[in-house]
């Protein structure tokens, strides 16, 4: 055996012993060729959707794919329809919607033009701009219907327990339902345009009594009442912030006053507009 070589022995299936040698230098000089294209593809992923799968499907079926969105649903119930519709609207958003405008700044003409492109690709019985807006905005505000169904199922109101020293219920389902219900009360029953610190004790107690009507909760305990009031305060502040954002989205005072808020009467909305337009309020 020459210097720098290794001996490799192997037993064959017949029991015979074979021997071979290999240079150490040769084994060290072996290099693996890496395909950089494969590495780049693995790193980048599949890339953006280009709608080619939808074109192939149309050629195979001989017609456009039908999209069905049942009444009361926010998406097609069939997974393939939901995926294809979402992908196609993504292509339209990337390639045909005006930039750098935000969604709220797009005109009705722009939105309808995008939906027409969607209708060209799919076969839809009725697809309006409201449907597209619903797909974009998501599930909307909580309306407390889940709590009503739970009450009918259990035959009693949901029990809320807030331990001493805690600011919220420790059980996640209780905490979520209480927060949602107090959010509904803040949007629909608290007086406007007053801030929280300007509300009277009677206003706050009246709001808490409404929560007591929906839950089995002991408001006689001061720490329970304080916790509920703190949640109500936070939800009220969030609601005021959203209304202020809605006001600031308008391009003029006249346009702002024409905005319709389902939870507010026109008189209350105009009172809020007067408050936000007031220079003294802006300084504060």
More confident call, 131 vs 273: 273
Closest CA to 236 of 191, 273, 183: 183
Mean pLDDT of 235-247: 89
CA distances to 70, 167, 186, 191, 212 from 205, in Å? 42, 18, 12, 13, 10
pLDDT tens digits along 189-225: 887 756 788 888 888 898 889 888 889 999 899 999 9
Pairing of strands 215-216, 158-159: parallel
pLDDT at 16: 61
pLDDT at 56: 79
Kindly indicate the confidence band of residue 12, based on its pLDDT and cuts at 50, 70 and 90: low
For residues 248 and 242, give the distance between their C-alpha atoms in angstroms, rounded to a whole number.
Answer: 10
pLDDT tens digits along 136-195: 444 455 556 777 777 777 788 888 999 998 889 999 888 888 999 998 888 888 877 567
Kindly indicate the confidence band of residue 27, based on its pLDDT and cuts at 50, 70 and 90: very low
Highest mean pLDDT among 51-65, 108-122, 252-266: 252-266
For residues 261 and 259, give the distance between their C-alpha atoms in angstroms, rounded to a whole number.
Answer: 7
Mean pLDDT of 43-60: 70
The SS3 call for residue 171 is coil
For residues 126 and 74, give the distance between their C-alpha atoms in angstroms, rounded to a whole number.
Answer: 14
Question: Which pair of tokens denotes residue 204?
Answer: 């706050």
pLDDT at 30: 46
Kindly indicate the confidence band of residue 3, based on its pLDDT and cuts at 50, 70 and 90: low
Residue 264 confidence (pLDDT) above 70: yes
CA distances to 90, 110, 232 from 113, in Å? 14, 5, 42
pLDDT at 230: 93
The SS3 call for residue 8 is strand
Quote the mean pLDDT of the chain: 76
For residues 64 and 45, give the distance between their C-alpha atoms in angstroms, rounded to a whole number.
Answer: 28
Mean pLDDT of 27-54: 58
Non-local (6+) Cβ contacts of 224 within 8 A are 162, 217, 218
Question: Which pair of tokens denotes residue 264?
Answer: 């507010």
| Of 39-48, 64-73, 266-275, the least confident | 39-48
Asked whether 254 and 172 are in contact (CB, 8 A), the reply is: no
């Amino acid at each position: 055996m020459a210097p720098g070589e290794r001996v490799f022995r192997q037993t064959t299936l017949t029991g015979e012993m074979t021997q071979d040698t290999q240079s150490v230098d040769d084994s060290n000089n072996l290099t693996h060729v890496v395909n950089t294209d494969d590495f780049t593809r693995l790193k980048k992923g599949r890339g953006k959707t280009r709608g080619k799968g939808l074109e192939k499907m149309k050629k195979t079926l001989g017609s456009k794919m039908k999209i069905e969105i049942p009444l009361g649903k926010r998406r097609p119930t069939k997974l393939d329809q939901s995926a294809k519709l979402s992908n196609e609207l993504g292509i339209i958003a990337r390639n045909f919607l005006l930039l750098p405008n935000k969604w709220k700044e797009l005109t009705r003409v722009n939105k309808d033009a995008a939906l027409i492109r969607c209708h060209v690709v799919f076969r839809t019985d009725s697809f309006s701009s409201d449907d597209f807006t619903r797909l974009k905005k998501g599930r909307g505000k909580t309306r407390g219907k889940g709590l009503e169904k739970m009450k009918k199922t259990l035959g009693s109101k949901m029990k809320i327990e807030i331990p001493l020293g805690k600011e919220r219920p420790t059980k996640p389902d209780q905490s979520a339902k209480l927060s949602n219900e107090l959010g509904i009360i803040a949007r629909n029953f608290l007086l406007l345009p007053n801030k929280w610190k300007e509300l009277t004790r009677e206003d706050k107690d009246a709001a808490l009594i409404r929560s007591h009507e929906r839950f089995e909760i002991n408001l006689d305990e001061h720490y329970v009442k304080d916790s509920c009031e703190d949640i109500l305060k936070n939800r009220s502040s969030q609601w005021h912030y959203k209304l202020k954002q809605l006001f600031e989205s308008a391009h003029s005072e006249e346009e702002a006053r024409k905005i319709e808020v389902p939870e507010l009467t026109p008189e209350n909305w105009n009172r809020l507009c007067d408050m936000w337009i007031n220079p003294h309020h802006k300084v504060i």
